[in-house]
């Protein structure tokens, strides 16, 4: 365990917000968690890729535990346990290099493995919940390590028990995945279908390459332009609302989803004329309207002001309330 005082966090959050924390605790072995003196206001930091820091923080626990281990295998599957501080994409690459199936659609998502279950990361028709077998965590109150199997994690679209009920009560320490040795492709997402066209004999490595190529055209590189991926969740509306919107906007994209119909929030924002819109040094990304970006030196307040502005404009125009996806601290 390494403790630093008054640590600057700019390079540790992908939005590149310049903020400090009073106490910064780096953990390289999960057993060190037993010795942490938790304050009543702490933040667990992994890749800092789904985070907007709005104030000076009291205590940051920086989880850097590493390790990928094969737990067991059959002729069909392989069970792999990954420590929370591993980079998510390192794990995805490891899995496709072993010719496994299940993680490839989730290639190139920034952040750590420990963060993945919290908001049930998803992309290109796949979600982390589809391959998670169980999640191990440290319970801050009891100081015990516990394991929740997939069903107990209450996974939903960009949500889980860890994001709400267990927030600030536990620290995810490792995730165990079940990946398939048998070829199981998930190419239903439009962008992938188009990418492959008539191509045959597609492997998980090909899917990974395709996803990386598609992501690079739409999502800003956090090393160049600060951002935290999708700032908002996609909107879920009831059928009646969808019909109302369809009558006014016949080309509105929508998908059937749990709890109603999913409408891409990026479409709503673009239709509201806000793609590329700027407020101070903060902006709506000009290549993808779901992403807010730091054009350089933006404050969290500028980003929050912009997000409120976008939310209100979308509500005024469409009567749809959109919600933030990013963790605001």
List, by residue number, the catalytic residues: 158, 230, 325
Question: Which whole-number Å values give the CA distances from 168 to 22, 61, 69, 139, 295, in the listed order?
Answer: 18, 12, 27, 10, 31
Torsion-angle region of 101 (φ positive above 0: left; ψ -120 to 50: alpha; else: beta): beta
289 lies in the site for ligand EPU, by CB under 6 A: yes
Task: Give the nearest distance from C-beta 33 to ligand EPU in angstroms.
Answer: 27
123 lies in the site for ligand EPU, by CB under 6 A: yes
Contacts of 40 (CB under 8 A, 6+ apart): none
51 lies in the site for ligand EPU, by CB under 6 A: no
Contacts of 121 (CB under 8 A, 6+ apart): 88, 106, 109, 111, 115, 127, 128
Residue carrying structure tokens 């989730």: 106
Residue nearest to ligand EPU (CB): 229
Dihedral pair phi/psi, residue 321, rounded to 5°: -90, 120
Residue 95 or 120 having the CB closest to ligand EPU: 120
Task: Give the nearest distance from C-beta 4 to ligand EPU in angstroms.
Answer: 29
| 132 beta partners | 177
Separation CA 131–CA 102 (nearest Å)? 6
30 lies in the site for ligand EPU, by CB under 6 A: no
Candidates 19-27, 76-84, 147-155, 285-293; binding stretch for ligand EPU (CB under 6 A): 285-293
307 lies in the site for ligand EPU, by CB under 6 A: no
288 lies in the site for ligand EPU, by CB under 6 A: yes
- Binder among 137, 148, 267, 277 for ligand EPU (CB under 6 A): 267
92 lies in the site for ligand EPU, by CB under 6 A: no
Candidates 55-63, 65-73, 197-205, 287-295; binding stretch for ligand EPU (CB under 6 A): 287-295
Binding mask 227-266 for ligand EPU (x = CB under 6 A): --xx--xx------------------x----------x-x
Task: Give the nearest distance from C-beta 285 to ligand EPU in angstroms.
Answer: 8
Dihedral pair phi/psi, residue 267, rounded to 5°: -65, -45
| 70 beta partners | 80
Candidates 17-25, 138-146, 267-275, 292-300; binding stretch for ligand EPU (CB under 6 A): 267-275
Separation CA 142–CA 86 (nearest Å)? 25
Separation CA 144–CA 140 (nearest Å)? 8
Residue carrying structure tokens 């054009």: 295
Angle at 163 between CA 302 and CA 232, to 5 degrees: 40
Separation CA 302–CA 277 (nearest Å)? 13
107 lies in the site for ligand EPU, by CB under 6 A: no
- Binder among 22, 156, 209, 270 for ligand EPU (CB under 6 A): 270
Residue 219 or 303 having the CB closest to ligand EPU: 219
Q: Binders of ligand EPU: how many residues, by CB under 6 A?
A: 18
Could you list the residues that contact ligand EPU (CB under 6 A)? 123-124, 218-219, 229-230, 233-234, 253, 264, 266-267, 270, 275, 288-290, 325
């Amino acid at each position: 365990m390494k403790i630093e005082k008054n640590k600057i966090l700019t390079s540790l959050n992908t939005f590149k917000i310049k903020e400090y924390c009073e106490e910064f605790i780096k953990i390289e072995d999960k057993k060190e968690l037993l010795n942490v003196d938790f304050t009543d206001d702490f933040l667990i930091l992994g890749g800092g890729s789904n985070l907007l820091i709005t104030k000076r923080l009291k205590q940051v626990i920086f989880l850097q535990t590493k390790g990928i281990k094969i737990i067991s295998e059959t002729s069909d599957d392989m069970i792999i346990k990954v420590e929370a501080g591993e980079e998510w994409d390192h794990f995805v690459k490891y899995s496709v290099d072993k010719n496994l199936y299940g993680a490839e659609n989730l290639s190139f998502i920034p952040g750590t493995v420990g963060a993945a279950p919290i908001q049930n990361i998803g992309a290109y028709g796949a979600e982390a919940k589809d391959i998670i077998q169980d999640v191990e965590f440290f319970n801050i109150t009891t100081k015990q390590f516990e394991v929740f199997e997939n069903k107990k994690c209450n996974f939903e679209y960009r949500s889980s028990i860890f994001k709400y009920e267990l927030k600030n009560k536990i620290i995810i320490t490792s995730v165990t995945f079940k990946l398939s040795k048998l070829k199981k492709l998930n190419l239903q997402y439009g962008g992938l279908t188009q990418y492959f066209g008539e191509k045959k004999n597609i492997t998980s490595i090909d899917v990974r390459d395709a996803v990386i190529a598609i992501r690079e055209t739409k999502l800003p590189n956090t090393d160049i332009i600060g951002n935290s991926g999708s700032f908002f969740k996609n909107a879920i509306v009831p059928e009646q609302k969808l019909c109302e919107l369809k009558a006014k906007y016949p080309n509105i994209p929508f998908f059937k989803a749990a709890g109603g119909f999913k409408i891409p929030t990026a479409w709503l924002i673009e239709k509201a004329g806000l793609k590329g819109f700027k407020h101070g040094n903060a902006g709506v990304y000009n290549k993808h309207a779901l992403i807010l970006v730091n054009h350089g030196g933006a404050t969290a307040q500028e980003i929050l002001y912009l997000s409120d502005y976008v939310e209100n404009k979308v509500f005024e125009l469409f009567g749809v309330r959109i919600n933030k996806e990013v963790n605001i601290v």
